[in-house]
Structure 1
Amino acid sequence: MDRAQAEPKPDRPRDVSELANLLDSTARGDRAAFADLYQRTSAKLYGICLRLLGSQAEAQDVLQDVYVTVWQKAHRFDPARASPITWLAVVARNKGIDRLRQRPVQVEELEAAAGVQDDAPLAFDIIDRERDSARLTHCLDELEERPRAMIRSAFLDGATYPELAEREGVPLGTMKSWIRRGLQRLKGCLEQ
């Protein structure tokens, strides 16, 4: 049997358990566990960074930041809230988006990072008119918690409206209304 057939596929219960144990050991300062965690997950996280940033050099820099954060914040991992690889992917995605925010804002990059869909022209118009990422961040922070979280999930984390509606336990129409009202308030802030 060749090696590819002998290795378990990612996200099997054993793999999830092993990664969770490695994160737990990392949280306690175990360097060997951290090295093993890096070996098992770095290719996937590098792929996330590369896809977001489009630059190998930037992706490598951000990947280093990702693992510094993992080393410092592994104690925050909660297996009841997410699988280990999901938690790690979120850290990588957030670090990649942070790097994008440091660049002069380019609409195409934000669209790619956010997974903006054709049915969201309002957000598209906002981003097109306002190219200053610091201002956009400021205006997002001015929103109430729920609309801010839903807008970030939809446009920065790539969650679909149906996924958000299911997660929040509300009808799809209600989720769309929440996001649309939040985007209207965001637009008002950006136009001031």
Structure 2
Amino acid sequence: MIQDPMLNLLSATAQGDKIAFAELYRVSSKRLYAVSLKMLKRKELAEEALQEAYVRIWHNAAQYRAGKGSVLTWMISIARYRALDILRYHAVRKEDVFSDNDEGPQLSSEPMIGTEKGLLEKCLAALEVQQRQTIHLAYFNGMSHHEVTAHLDLPLGTVKSWIRRGLQSLQRCLKL
């Protein structure tokens, strides 16, 4: 069994080791920031979500359970929920989170070159409608599987299957 390389850092963080926490931040912050930025589309909101996520990670490090996924997956879920909280906060206040010049969600924190973006768009267009819709809701709108099921009024297993098969098709099309 391969051990998660971040597990030791998280375990030390749970014991209050600030140096381990700093290293955990160093090795994971770019990915968590990319998730937050993808969902919130504004740098300052993504930074706010990231900060709140790491506060939660620091306070809840001892709550991590290895059987439920990798350390990074656990941390990304915390960042996603912080971003969703920010989106909900602004929605309740009817504030426009997105600026007028937004072109929609970015696929990563790094800009894509034209050929990469074109290939991704081509591969997304080749998916079945249901797969494309569920992937869009989950990855571009930041919805959890449960939120997608409620939004589409479909069983959870159906949504998970469509997303999984769609991602597999994307992977084949993009040759990852």
* Same-fold status (TM-score > 0.5): yes
2:89 to 87, 98, 102: 102
2:146 to 146, 151, 156: 151
Please tell me whether Structure 1 or Structure 2 has the larger radius of gyration of its CA atoms.
1
Q: Are 2:49 and 1:70 aligned?
A: no
Q: Are 2:20 and 1:25 aligned?
A: no
Q: Which amino acid aligns with 2:35?
A: I
Q: CA RMSD in A?
A: 3.7
Structure 1, unpaired ranges of 5+: 1-12, 120-148, 166-192
Q: TM-score, normalised by structure 1?
A: 0.51
d(CA) in 2 for partners of 1:153 and 1:73? Answer: 27
The equivalent of 2:38 in structure 1 is 51
Residue 161 of structure 1: how far off its partner (Å) = 2.8
Q: Which amino acid aligns with 2:85?
A: D
Structure 2, unpaired ranges of 5+: 99-104, 106-127, 131-143, 163-176
Equivalent position SS for 1:94: helix
1:61 to 48, 67, 71: 48
Residues 22, 36 of structure 1: 8 Å contact kept: yes
Residue 101 of structure 1: how far off its partner (Å) = 0.3
Residue 164 of structure 1: how far off its partner (Å) = 6.8
Report which structure shows greater RCO (CA 8 Å, sep ≥6). Answer: 2
The equivalent of 2:67 in structure 1 is 80
Residue 79 of structure 1: how far off its partner (Å) = 0.6
Residue 61 of structure 1: how far off its partner (Å) = 1.0
Q: CA 1:154/1:28 → structure 2, altered by over 3 Å: closer, same or farther?
A: farther
Equivalent position SS for 2:6: helix
| Poorly superposed stretches of 4+, deviation over 6 Å | none
Equivalent position SS for 1:29: coil
Q: CA 1:45/1:27 → structure 2, altered by over 3 Å: closer, same or farther?
A: same
Q: CA 1:57/1:67 → structure 2, altered by over 3 Å: closer, same or farther?
A: same
Residues 154, 160 of structure 1: 8 Å contact kept: no
